[in-house]
Structure 1
Amino acid sequence: MSAPTSQRTALIIEDDPDIRELLATTLRMNGFTTIEAGSGLDGLAALAEHEPDLITLDLTLPDLDGVEVCRQCRAVSDAYIVMVTARQDEIDRLIGLEIGADDFIGKPFSPREFSARVSAMFRRPRTGLGTGLGNGRGAPAAQQQEPAGNDLLRHNELTLDVEGRVVALDGQELALTRIEFDLLETLLTGAQRVWTREALLNRVWGDGWSQDHHLVEVHIRNLRKKLGEDTSNPRFIRTVRGVGYRMMPGDTAH
């Protein structure tokens, strides 16, 4: 991972001092300033004070559960979140991704792989709070908002403002994560195309992810929930069995 063009800050929330030091050393070698916390409460306090660009988060902490810490982080920050844990069963992976984590890496891990994943995340656009993207909050239910940017993608009642990174359904803004937004934008941009899982991985996550098809499936599932999709009768995203995904036929405009 090449050094960032400007100084970035990483918050490491990890109770194991050896792993904490390994993460800190790896990130410092790649140009990050690091802040370390050994518990969930200390990590949340450090988050409020330092406003980091990246958070690495252990799932098993001595005070708060890592899932709860992730929820609280995502409620106030659009920092990239990488969950680092020895608990690699499927349920933990799904929970982690559904609450706003950007990636999930198991212990023991390769510092080189960790660096590559962080680098891939920072190649994706970041968003600010208040957009409904990345912070998991979105607009209040009563608020009706139409994307204001000039570069709009439309599919029936769904609109996506590329520059403003705002998605609205029936005039109401949706709270999408960065990855969900990028997936939806990709599908809308090539609305007549069937996107393979590998193509979506390369487009949204970057090089080196072509075998991790499960990431696409999890995030598509979460995106469908937010779109109010009935998988047996999809309104927007159709699964092409054995291949990937495409947009349902409809009134699509760029």
Structure 2
Amino acid sequence: MSGFAVPSKTAVIVEDDPDVRDLLDEVFCAAGFRTVLATTGFEGVAAVQEHDPVITTLDVNLPGIDGFEAVRRIRKTSDTYIIMLSALAEESDIVLGLSSGADDYVTKPFRPRELRARIEAFMRRPRRLERDAFADSGPITPIRLVPDPENSDAEDSAAHEVPGAPEVAVAARNPGADAAIVAIGDGNAEWISHRDLSLDLATHTVLVAQREVELTPTEFDLLATLLESKRRVRSKSDLALVLRGEAFGSSYYVGEPDKRAIEAHIANLRRKLGDSSSEPNYIETVRGVGYRLTPQSDAIAAFG
């Protein structure tokens, strides 16, 4: 029996060029991953379903189905972090890749050190790993948020009605706060609410008017960041740093491609939430600055 430990992190590499595939294999193995290699889009989708990887890399030009279609199929069953790798460097190609469900888009030729940095950035984003700790806790129980009778500051304006669901008291808000954090049931859930939008950090669940919305890991992290920031504006650079696992205000350089990627992710997020950039219900654009939550109600918007 070997005395070497088997890496617990798995990466699926979908690449038909053997030289690039070998290079990717080396990068991931050096980062402590167990790798699964695939050469076609169909094989890649099947490998993700079978091995449940933390990270998946996908070439765009693949035999069978291309990388864009492979991402769409993977997203139906998996929340693996997806990095698209392609020689297609036009902005329209990048937007298409991110709109298909990818978390990152890297153009070829790429520097192994840059790719390694992006892999490490994904691993610094803890929410997926934290969520996995609750994977065996059973199905999510619908809830109905009601005012806390012992807390005069609690509101019922953001209550989410589910007939027959247990009632959970809304947590106290600080004056002027526009998102409430609610501790639920056994303490494994932590809901953040804004209007009829609710997000649970523990289970990666997002509800809009009690309808569950499927988000990619990156879209979820961006939405969680905006909800936690309340009405504080977050710049594109701020949000790019979040996706790298860095703190706000870090001195790390954020280039224009990363900022354009944030724009694409926010556009996808709005589309899935049923939101509008011109008449936002949840996320508003502060031109020349960044993004923030809308006021809690239209009345606040009218008179605030």
Q: TM class by shorter-chain length?
A: 0.7 to 0.9
Asked if 1:153 is matched to 2:197, the reply is no
Decide which moves more: 204-213 or 238-247. 204-213
Tell me the CA shift for residue 5 of structure 1.
Answer: 10
Residues 122 and 243 of structure 2 are in contact (CA less than 8 Å); yes or no, is this contact kept in structure 1? Answer: no
Distance 1:156 1:27, change over 3 A: same
Show the 5 A alignment for 1:195-210: 195-207=234-246, 208=252, 210=254
Letter in 1 for 2:227: L
Cα pair distance change 1:35/1:163, threshold 3 Å: closer
1:238 to 284, 287, 297: 284
Deviation at 1:41, TM superposition (A): 2.3
Deviation at 1:209, TM superposition (A): 6.1
TM alignment of 1:105-254, pairs within 5 A: 105-124=106-125, 125-126=127-128, 150-207=189-246, 208=252, 210-211=254-255, 212-250=258-296
Does the 8 A contact of 1:202 with 1:209 survive in 2? Answer: no
Cα distance in structure 1, aligned partners of 2:292 and 2:14 = 38
Larger Rg: 2
SS in 1 for 2:226: helix
1:135 aligns with none
- The TM-score, its normalising length taken from structure 2, stands at 0.71
Distance in structure 2 (CA, Å) of the matches to 1:115 and 1:150: 33
Partner of 2:36: 35
Q: Which amino acid aligns with 2:231?
A: Q
- After TM superposition, give the deviation of residue 205 of structure 1 in Å: 2.9
In the alignment, the residues of structure 2 paired with residue 224 and residue 5 of structure 1 have an alpha-carbon distance, to the nearest angstrom, of: 40
Aligned equivalents of 1:164, 1:51: Cα separation in 2: 17
Structure 1 unaligned residues grouped into runs of 5+: 132-143
Q: Indicate the residue corresponding to 1:62 in structure 2.
A: 63
The number of aligned residues is 234
In the TM superposition, what whole-angstrom CA distance separates every residue of 1:45-95 from its partner, at most 9, and x where no partner exists?
333433322211100012211111111222222222111111111222111
2:10 alignment counterpart:
9
Q: Work out whether residues 59 and 83 of structure 1, in 8 Å CA contact, stay in contact via their aligned partners in 2.
A: yes
Distance 2:7 2:36 in 1: 17
Whether contact under 8 Å (2:81, 2:217) holds in the other structure is: no
Distance 1:222 1:117 in 2: 21
Q: Check whether the contact 2:7–2:34 (CA below 8 A) recurs between aligned residues.
A: no
Aligned residue for 2:141? none
Task: After TM superposition, give the deviation of residue 225 of structure 1 in Å.
Answer: 0.9
C-alpha distance in 2, partners of 1:80/1:5?
21
Indicate how the Cα distance of structure 1 residues 203 and 224 shifts in structure 2: closer, same or farther if over 3 A, else same: same
1:188-236 residue CA offsets vs partner (Å, 9 max, x unmatched)? 1121211111112222333456222112111111111112122221111
Between the aligned residues of both structures, percent identity stands at 43
SS in 2 for 1:151: strand
**Higher RCO (C-alpha under 8 Å, 6+ residues apart):** 1
1:136 corresponds in structure 2 to none
